[in-house]
Structure formats: C-alpha cells, structure tokens
Amino acid sequence: MLSMSDISTFLSTLVKIFTMYFSLSLVFAVGALPIFRRLRRRRAVRKECTPRTKFAVVIAARNEENVIAQLIDSLHKQDYPSELFDIIAVPNNCTDDTETAALTAGAKIMHPSVTVRNKGDVLHDILGRLTRESDYDAFVLFDADNVVDPAFLREIDKSMQGGALACKGRQLAKNPYESATAGCYAIWFEFSGWLFNTSRSVVKMSAKVVGTGFAVHRDLLLHFGGWNTTSICEDTEFGAKCSLEGVRVHWVPTAITYDEQPNSFAVSIRQRRRWASGVMHTGSMYIGRLFANVVHGRASLLSFDMFMALVAPFAQAFAVIPITMSFLQHVMNGSPERILLQLATTYAGIVAGTLALMFIRGYRNRGMVKGCLLFPIYMLTWFPLNVISVFKRTTRWTAIVHVGGKQPQLSVKK
C-alpha cells in the first residue's frame, strides 16, 4: 500500500514534469522573440492586401448598458471598410436597457431564440443562425466591456487571407492603474501573451483561446456543425475542439482588445473560481480524447499541448499535498524559518520580475506598482481555487458588473 510519502513524491514529480514542460515556453519566448518580431514585420509587408473578409462582430451582452456604447463606438472607428462588417449586439437576460444603448450606438440587434444559461448558449444559437442565414465569411466575438484597437479587423483579415480558420488577438487590461487587482490582470495578460501565445506562435502551435477578441471562420463552424460547447468555459472548450481536429488557433498580437477588469479582489476570486471550474470541466470531457489523439498520431502536437494545458490545473490542485507535507516536515524539524525565507525570496523575485516586465512593456504609471506587489498573492490563490474546483463544480454563470469610464489612454507597446 502506498504511504503518504510515496504519494507526495509521485505528485511532486508530476508537478516537476509540468513545470519543465511549460518552462519551454520561456525558452522560446526569450530566445525566439527577436526572430518572431522580424518574421512578423516581413509578414506585415507581404500581407498588405485589399480587405476581403466580411465579418459579423457579435457581442453577447447581459446588463451592459454602462459600457456597450463605448465598444460599439470603437468598432465604428475600425480601419476597415464599413461595408465589410456588421456589429450585432445580443442582449440576453437583461434587467437594464442594454438593447437601447446598443441601438443608439449603431449596432444591429438579435435576440436569442433559446433559453440562455451562459455565453455558450448565446453563441450556439446566434452563430448557428448567422451561419445558415447570412453570407458572412467570419465571426468576431467581443465582450461588451471591451474597447477595440482601430486595426483589429484589418489584422484579423490579413491572418484569415493567409489561411487561418481561427484567430486570437492580444488582450490587454483597460484599467490597469485603477486598482491592485486590475493591475494583476494586466500583468497576467502580458505574461500569458508573451510566454504562452508568442512562444507557441514561433513553433506554429495554437494560441490560448479566450472568448473575447477571438475570430472564427465560417468554414470551421460548418465543419464543427456550429458552436456546440456545453461547459461554462466555452472558449477553452472551443480551443480543445480545435486541437482535436488539428486546427491551429493563430496568434495575432497586432489585433488588440482592451478588456475591463475587476477592481475588487473578492470579485476576482469569484470570476477565477468560475474559470477554474470551467477549465476542469472541459478537461474532464477532453483529456481522454486528446491523449488518444497523441497515442494514435492524430494532430498529436496540438493535442498534446492542449492535453498538458487541461491537466495542469489538476496537477496544481494536487500539488498542495507535497507542498503541505514539506512545510509540516520543516516545522517538525524545527526549521520553519527556512520555508519563510524561501517564501520571502520567491515573493521578492516575482515582484521584481513583474515590475521589470511591465516597465519594459510600457506601463510607466506608478499605479502599476500596487498590482506588482499583489501579483504573487493573485497567483497563489489559484491553488485553493483549483482544489475547490476538483471537488465542487460551478455551473452557474454570474455577471461581473462593468462601469465603463473614459476610453483608455495607454502607452503600452504594441
């Protein structure tokens, strides 16, 4: 029979394997980023072409009266022919006047014809109808609290004319200096864009699908039989479907979306609890199928990477066991100061690293410091959130209140 020590050793080894795998991202991000930038400049010159893709820009909106006009206004300012895109707002389960705000700002309105429990239900219904009843070439998905860079549609069009069936643009925080919590999101977006998406783009792997600032071609939806996600984390599930079919999600860092982030850490916990539960739910549905793809050599590279991404939260949750045992061992040995020193050193290293990254990326406002100071705690809270999600799944979508405000004036590097 396995002892707790044996279990702890096994779990510790498992965590090390995942840490080593995802550390490869750092190698590619640091070592290949200059190459990627040169390739991107060359492609930009080569891909200067006449806009061709006809887009339906879809905004699923629930109680977003305060912010949706700001998004629609930024879409009207796109550096893209107005006849090649329509803005379609989809109010659902609203108790405010989101619909009037969207109409006044110049959007078309569609109403769901099904019961809506979450965003996936909206996309299943609306994208299915648009695919069947319209001539759009592709669909772009935004959350109502976003503001979009003027070049967004033009950059997505270039990628799709180059053969992409799914694209993910760069996501930035709209309000990084408002609070420490919003600053943490800004840091995470920069880290994930650089370490995850940029590095994978270099080796022609998929970007991480996030449901805003994301585009999907009509042909891919027809191939999938529509947008047929069932989990509360519809974006991750769609990414898993793409990996199963060997469809690469192209990273388009020049297509930028600014996304409003929570200022309350309690709201952040609630939001990330939903994300953690949704990713684990998706993992429970797709891990086996992705592993089978790897074993049989079908879309093996994309499937393996998604397999690792979906198993990682489970590995992180069970990593609590060896971490706790190590801490208790040091306490019983009379050396808790060693653990405290390691924690203090790790905390200082993370803060210093985030300060350097954000300064390099153009976040020069002193308001960013409080986000950097909180960021290690922000990351640490993923552990209990994943542990809870192993045992209790969240199936209910809870709205995050957005307040809008002025359109962001950020000087971050593009």
For residue 3, the tally of other CB atoms under 10 A from its CB is: 8
Q: What is the pLDDT of residue 46?
A: 45
Domain assignment present for 358: yes
Q: Examine the domain organization and report whether 17 and 82 are in the same domain.
A: no
Please state, as a whole number, how many other Cβ atoms lie within 10 Å of the Cβ of residue 189. 20
How much is the pLDDT for 342? 81
The total number of structural domains that make up the chain: 2
Task: Let me know whether 270 and 236 are in one domain.
Answer: yes
User: In three state form, how does the secondary structure of 361-375 look?
Assistant: CCCCCCCHHHHHHHH
| Residue range 51-89, pLDDT digits in tens | 999 999 999 999 999 999 999 999 999 999 999 999 999
8-24 b/e with 16+ CB inside 10 Å = b?
beebbebbeebeeeeee
In this structure, is residue 273 part of a structural domain? Answer: yes
Report the candidate in 59, 150, 139 with the shortest Cα–Cα distance to residue 103. Answer: 59
Q: Is residue 150 domain-shared with residue 238, that is, in the same domain?
A: yes
CA distances from 203 to 4, 196, 199, 248, 270 (A): 40, 11, 7, 11, 35
Boundary of a domain, candidates 265, 284, 303: 284
Measured CA to CA, the distance from residue 309 to residue 319 in angstroms comes to 15
The predicted pLDDT at position 193 comes to 87
Name which of 230, 313, 275, 265 is nearest 394 in CA terms: 275
pLDDT in tens, 126-175: 999 999 999 999 999 999 999 999 999 999 999 999 999 999 999 999 99
CA distance 85 to 56: 6
Tens of pLDDT along the chain (414 residues) come to: 556 565 566 666 766 676 777 767 666 655 545 555 555 554 544 456 899 999 999 999 999 999 999 999 999 999 999 999 999 999 999 999 999 999 999 999 999 999 888 899 999 999 999 999 999 999 999 999 999 999 999 999 999 999 999 999 999 999 999 999 999 999 999 988 887 898 888 888 899 988 799 999 999 999 999 999 988 899 999 999 999 999 999 999 999 999 999 999 999 999 999 999 999 999 999 999 999 999 998 878 899 999 999 998 998 888 777 777 776 776 677 666 777 888 899 999 999 999 998 998 889 899 999 999 999 999 999 999 999 999 888 766 666 777 765 545 555 665
Verify that 240 and 322 share a domain, yes or no.
no
Cα separation, 282 vs 19, whole angstroms: 21
Residues 227 and 322 reside in one and the same domain: no
Choosing from 269, 284, 299, the residue where a domain stops is 284
Q: Are residues 269 and 239 in the same domain?
A: yes
Note whether 145 and 121 are same-domain residues. Answer: yes
The predicted structure's pLDDT at residue 191: 87
Distance CA 317, CA 384 (A): 7
pLDDT at 45: 42
CATH of the domain at 122: 3.90.550.10
Residue 386 lies in a domain: yes
* DSSP assigned state of 97: -
Residues 13 and 79 in one domain: no
- Both 150 and 15 in a single domain? no
- Tell me, yes or no, whether 317 and 274 share the same domain: no
| Residue 256 CA neighbour count, 13 Å, CB half | 15
Q: Are 71 and 142 in contact, with CB atoms under 8 Å apart?
A: yes
Considering the domain architecture, whether residues 13 and 34 belong to the same structural domain is answered as no
Q: Is 216 helix (H, G, I), strand (E, B) or coil?
A: strand
240 with 362, same domain: the answer is no
413 falls within a domain: no
The answer to whether position 147 is within a domain reads yes
229 assigned to some structural domain: yes
Amino acid 44: pLDDT: 47
Note whether residue 299 is domain-resident. no
Is 50 part of any domain? yes
Distances (CA, A) of 400 to 171, 263, 267, 270: 18, 11, 8, 9
Q: Where in the sequence is the domain holding 41, given as residue range(s)?
A: 27-284
- Confidence at residue 340, expressed as pLDDT on a 0 to 100 scale: 80
Domain boundary among 284, 301, 324: 284
